[in-house]
Structure 1
Amino acid sequence: MGGDTKPRRARSRSWPVLLTQERARPDRIRERPGAWWLAVATVCFGAFMGQLDASIVTLTYGSLRGEFRASLAAVEWVSLAYLLALVALLIPAGRLSDAHGRKLFYLYGFVVFTAASAACGLAPSLATLVVFRVVQAAGAAMMQANSVALVTTSAPRGKMRTALGVQAAAQALGLALGPTVGGALVSAVGWRWVFGINVPIGIIALVAGHYLLPRTRSHNRADRFDWPGLALLSVATTSLLLGVSAASGLPVPPWAVALLFTTAAGADWAFVQRQLRAPAPLLDLTLLRARAVSTGLAGALCGYLVLFGPLVLVPEALVEAGGSELTAGLVLTALPAGFALAATVADQVLPRAVSDRGRCLLGAAICAGTLGAMLVLPATAGWLVPQLAVLGVGLGTFTPANNTLVMGAIPANCSGTGGGLVNMARGLGTALGVALVTLQLHLAGDGAGRDGWLRAIAVLAAAAGIMLVAAWLSPAGRRTASEGSRQE
């Protein structure tokens, strides 16, 4: 018996190491010529799940209202709580990942997201469901903050844009399948399986990530974590999104809306001051001094605003004109389908001489031109399908190239923070796309179909114009990391 004591103790000591340190990929995987594709494919699991979850949950509103006898305003918190927590936690998750390991945090994100999804499916009340959605958002933040970083540090330099295009296509596929899968699940087996479907996908992705994702080779450690900075960032983002949502038609007095926007501005100013003075800031503001980063983040926010705005606008327009929800869902599929197509084939179609900046300009110009046409053409299913498809092509051309410019200007040891910034811009763009379109429809009043359509399209066209300006101002951008800072 005494001879077994040391091995058992060695094994017991290995458990903390197994749980707190990243493990390298097996040699037979790391040495494969296409090993980076395996890593990108694994990250696509998270990209797909995140967007599937974003578009699938809205299909549960009717069932949730019936089962829990709740109002629509109460049920909307199932989505709103998730979005608020996600946006607030993306940068902190990226910062911690840079310090302790991006693969480690990505895998733990899958654990939290999958467990919370199972809990959401078993929730006994609406309040419990909202709480579990916040936990789910924490897991999603750990994944999303690292998804772009894992892709950019895994792919060879010449393949970075292609890899980011594949990831963007996975996001678009999840977005496209969400309404169809959600509607089928709710109709066939009930709303709880809308969350339950995440469990088997999450388990598969967790196992794949353990073996296929490279470990972090370059860390950016900090002696302490900036908790005051996190609090200020959370207050700023939450107040901003609540203010926009309140202004979009919720029964909230004007003074409360003004207070929310004032609080957001004050917290944002205090956050910047804190980051300038903190010994270990949550966000290194010097990253934003790179023009490719600042313009790229503005472009990313506006790009997702343009992507998600039609998801609210088109169903409202078609249903008000006498169409069905099924017709609206089928018409909307053209947008993410065009996005996925362009994100995956743009490298093969466009000449290699076209730079990332040139691709951004081309994509933004397509978006602006398409939205301009939507201002004058009829808002009918026959006209909308090709217009939405072309709009998706513009976004699919713009987004991977824009993300490449941003991540190429960020040092590899800050890739998690950079990925958190990109995904935070995406989250804010998503929220603003939904909220600003809803606001325009609210301001137009009930029954003012064409007026509301024109108002909303004008907002989206303005966002496309900002994308175009941001692309024009962006430099070519080059990755600053050395080969030794990549992952294995």
Structure 2
Amino acid sequence: MQQQATLARKEHRLPLEGVIQRPEGMWFIVGTVCFGAFMAALDASIISIALPKLEQAFHTMMNRIEWVSLIYLLALAGCIVAFGRLSDLIGRRPMYTMGFGVFIIGSALCGASWNLSSLLAFRVVQGIGASLLQANSVSIITAAADAERRGQAIGFQALAQGLGLSLGPLVGGVLTHIASWRLIFYINVPVGILGTISALLFLPRDRREGPRPRFDLVGALVLAFLLIVTMYVLKEGFRPESRPTITAMLLAVAVLAAASFVAIERRAESPLVPISYIREPVIWLGNLTSILSFSVMYAITLVVPYWFVHVEGLSSAKAGLLLTALPVGMALCTPFAGRLADRWSKVKVSAAGMVLAAMGSASLFAFARVTPAFLAGLFLVGCGIGTFTPANNARVMNATPAAHLGVAGGILNMSRSLGMGVGVTAGGVSVELFTAAFGHHGVALAYRCSFLVAAALALIALGLTLLRQKQSREAA
């Protein structure tokens, strides 16, 4: 009788053990993680469409209002690896749930901002909340999913992030059209509350018992500084109005910070990122190819809208609608790619993804007008990224010891942020260089050649994906 009462109490306390321990219970955990991943990614891109409205509302210049987008990304990139490591030490459930809370508070404060300075400060809070969510998303799924379903589960998480980033401008455009720019922040409050409830109900308890290793605070601060400087240089350092001397100085500072971080981690008793771990070919190649794959996606999503508007003469609304061919490709391929990676070969599925992305990028070059073939190229790029990401992420996480799942997930999400910076830089700089080479009469050709740069990035990622296949024998 007493045993039945104990079991009854366990059934009713949070989380709902009776639900999540069933064979299909894993999908409640995956759904909760996808909820947060989509919301955090959406807010990274949703702001872009509202920048002109913010410029008018705060009576300022575009070069200042762009910091609303940039400062969020800097906060996200600077915190994500440290929060991943903290989740390894104190538990992923409390960190993820706290992420929803911080994100809700930051969103509400952003919506109530009274001037640009207050909005920038509150965007930092929002970015910290997003980093708490994204740092733990892949690691929670890896811990919850069995090996036979892990690739498929990670595929859904990658789909949620990709859709959030891709659909942000479209959702932002609708919200700012029907109401004030403040709605794009306030809408996160009820959505975040639902996410918090879902996290409390379904995320499994994983608090660490016994003595905890010391958190490498010095390493975390140096890495955050390195990532912030790197992201800033990638986003702002190669623009036409930037000063080459300042860009060169920042690059030198980044190199010095990277060397300092490696030296600190070698001597640390409990390093933030174990050097022996990131030396593994599966790990560093997986993260490097992740950076390259997302750079393909962001180079395309930067240049194609300009092509639609400036070369084809389409409206911004129609350009945004046509661009959705890319996230549609991701949505269709990502879950199936994860399942195929579980049953066939993660290396081969990753390689197939980069082949599709390269073919899609080359198709954008080959078909110069907005035709079904051009849209098919966009669709293929989305299919390629959607095929590559779950297989590559599952391969990295499968090679990660359980004690480092949090930091591994943080690094993978950091690679996506760096890929964004690399892609935006590669797309923007290539258009400028080709325009300078071809002259003003060759602007259309300059845009088309930038699609070949994206194809080249995909081919480099393909080569690196296959580089260690024979040596590692890691085809599972």
Same fold (TM over 0.5): yes
Q: Which AA in structure 2 matches 1:407? A: M
Match in the other structure for 1:420: 410
Q: Give 1:329's match in structure 2, choosing from 309, 313, 320.
A: 320
Deviating more after overlay: 226-235 vs 312-321: 226-235
Measured in 1, the distance between the counterparts of 2:103 and 2:371 equals 37
Match in the other structure for 1:188: 178
Measured in 2, the distance between the counterparts of 1:128 and 1:139 equals 17
Conserved? CA contact 2:163–2:327, under 8 Å: yes
| Matching of residue 342 in structure 1 with residue 336 in structure 2 | no
| Matching of residue 464 in structure 1 with residue 458 in structure 2 | yes
Measured in 2, the distance between the counterparts of 1:221 and 1:143 equals 25
CA displacement, residues 16-64 of structure 1 (integer Å, 9 cap, x when unaligned): xxxxxxx862332233221101000010101111221122110110100
Match in the other structure for 1:11: none
**1:259 aligns to what SS in structure 2?**
helix
Q: Give 1:449's match in structure 2, choosing from 434, 443, 448.
A: 443
Conserved? CA contact 1:168–1:399, under 8 Å: yes
Q: Which AA in structure 2 matches 1:472? A: L
Within a 5 Å distance, the mapping from 1:21-100 to structure 2 comes to 25-100=15-90
Q: Displacement, 1:457?
A: 1.8
Match in the other structure for 2:247: 257
Q: Displacement, 1:257?
A: 1.1
Q: Which AA in structure 1 matches 2:451? A: I
Match in the other structure for 2:5: none
Conserved? CA contact 1:222–1:280, under 8 Å: no
CA RMSD of aligned residues (A): 2.1
Measured in 2, the distance between the counterparts of 1:362 and 1:406 equals 17
Match in the other structure for 1:198: 188
Within a 5 Å distance, the mapping from 1:84-483 to structure 2 comes to 84-216=74-206, 222-249=212-239, 251-321=241-311, 322-346=313-337, 350=340, 354-443=344-433, 444=435, 447=440, 448-474=442-468, 475=472, 477=474
Q: Displacement, 1:238?
A: 2.1
Deviating more after overlay: 149-158 vs 442-451: 442-451
Match in the other structure for 1:16: none
Measured in 1, the distance between the counterparts of 2:196 and 2:475 equals 32
Structure 2 residue runs of 5 or longer lacking an equivalent are 1-12
Conserved? CA contact 1:405–1:476, under 8 Å: no
Q: Displacement, 1:379?
A: 4.5
Q: Displacement, 1:219?
A: 7.2
Measured in 2, the distance between the counterparts of 1:463 and 1:345 equals 24
Conserved? CA contact 1:220–1:413, under 8 Å: no
Q: Which AA in structure 1 matches 2:333? A: A
Q: Displacement, 1:222?
A: 4.8
CA displacement, residues 169-203 of structure 1 (integer Å, 9 cap, x when unaligned): 22233234322221111011110011111111100
Conserved? CA contact 1:172–1:337, under 8 Å: no
Conserved? CA contact 1:360–1:471, under 8 Å: yes
Measured in 1, the distance between the counterparts of 2:291 and 2:341 equals 27
Measured in 2, the distance between the counterparts of 1:463 and 1:50 equals 26
Conserved? CA contact 1:169–1:341, under 8 Å: no
Deviating more after overlay: 331-340 vs 46-55: 46-55
Decide whether aligned partners of structure 1 residues 221 and 117 sit closer, same or farther in structure 2, where only a CA change above 3 A counts.
Answer: farther
Q: Which AA in structure 2 matches 1:208? A: S
CA displacement, residues 356-408 of structure 1 (integer Å, 9 cap, x when unaligned): 11101111111122222333321425432111111111111111000000000
Match in the other structure for 2:6: none
**1:107 aligns to what SS in structure 2?**
helix
Measured in 1, the distance between the counterparts of 2:385 and 2:225 equals 31
TM-score between the two structures when normalised by the length of structure 2: 0.91
Measured in 2, the distance between the counterparts of 1:271 and 1:320 equals 44
Measured in 2, the distance between the counterparts of 1:381 and 1:76 equals 33
Identity of counterpart residues, as a percentage?
A: 36
Conserved? CA contact 1:42–1:208, under 8 Å: yes
**1:157 aligns to what SS in structure 2?**
coil
Q: Displacement, 1:303?
A: 1.2
**2:87 aligns to what SS in structure 1?**
helix
Decide whether aligned partners of structure 1 residues 471 and 218 sit closer, same or farther in structure 2, where only a CA change above 3 A counts.
Answer: farther
Conserved? CA contact 2:299–2:424, under 8 Å: yes
Match in the other structure for 2:4: none
Deviating more after overlay: 325-334 vs 372-381: 372-381
Q: Displacement, 1:330?
A: 1.1
Structure 1 residue runs of 5 or longer lacking an equivalent are 1-22, 480-488
Conserved? CA contact 2:83–2:132, under 8 Å: yes
Decide whether aligned partners of structure 1 residues 224 and 27 sit closer, same or farther in structure 2, where only a CA change above 3 A counts.
Answer: closer
